[in-house]
Amino acid sequence: MLAPDTAKEATEVMASLGKTYPELSGTYARPKGLLLSEILSYQHLSGIYSPFTIEANYNQDMTDYNIPFTMCHELAHLRGFMSEDEANFIAFLACSGAEDSSFRYSGLLSGWIYCMNALYKADPAAHASLRETLSPACEADLRANSEFWNRFDGKVAEVSNKVNDTYLKANGQEEGVMRYNLMVDLVVAYYQQAIH
């Protein structure tokens, strides 16, 4: 269960990351859980950045572990990082480096999911072997997450995905919705640099 001050924590986590990366420094407005989050659920959206109100909004109905990562992703957009892979990577860095355990868990599990999806495409056997090492608690969260989103499968989700894909392509992200997955390249480069 997330703490009531999760939105405040998200602003602090992002501001803390700004000490290492000046492009992210400054004050952040608290992300807002949408009252009608069910609309986002039917669209299979975890969050949305509103450039008109300059707000980071999130789907407050989704599985708890998604919320800190999504908050930080949307706050990255607030700082001008509009590319989805960059916003994902920033959310990963902010959350995985946080003192709050729910933020660390959110960042690490979200990053793990993206990396495991990429591994599955590259090497299904390695994916299967590594997948067996996941803890039962994480497995339970992944099941709950799948069950949540499966309830909202349908035409609305399909249309929303196509609209988002078109929107991203029209705004210079040629990969469309696949752009979110490219955060894996940034994560790998980050850890390779840390090793050397």
**For 105-152, what is each residue's pLDDT tens digit?**
999 999 999 999 999 989 999 999 999 999 999 999 999 999 999 999
CA distance 105 to 107: 6
pTM for the whole thing? 0.91
Q: What mean pLDDT is predicted for residues 60-85?
A: 95
As a whole number of angstroms, the distance between CA 88 and CA 125 comes to 26
Does residue 175 have a pLDDT over 80? no
Name which of 52, 51, 48 is nearest 31 in CA terms: 48
Q: What is the DSSP letter of 24?
A: G
Who has greater pLDDT, 1 or 31? 31
Q: Are 87 and 77 in contact (CB under 8 A)?
A: yes
Task: Note the pLDDT tens digit of each residue in 78-107.
Answer: 999 999 999 999 999 999 999 999 999 999
Q: What is the mean pLDDT of the chain?
A: 90
Mean pLDDT over residues 15-26, rounded?
Answer: 95
What is d(CA 67, CA 1) in angstroms, rounded to the nearest whole number?
Answer: 11
Q: Are 23 and 44 in contact (CB under 8 A)?
A: no
- Taking the CA atoms of the chain, what radius of gyration do you get in angstroms? 16
**What does the pLDDT read at residue 167?**
67
Q: Is the pLDDT of residue 163 over 90?
A: no
Distances (CA, A) of 152 to 104, 114, 160: 27, 21, 12
Please classify residue 83 by burial: count the beta carbons closer than 10 Å to its beta carbon, then call 0-12 exposed, 13-18 middle and 19+ buried.
buried
Q: Which helix (H) or strand (E) holds 33?
A: strand 32-33
Taking residues 21-37, what's their average pLDDT? 94
Q: Is residue 76's pLDDT more than 60?
A: yes
Phi, psi (5° rounding) for residue 56? -95, 115
Distances (CA, A) of 126 to 30, 138, 141, 183: 40, 19, 22, 20
CA-closest candidate to residue 72, choices 100, 36, 113: 100
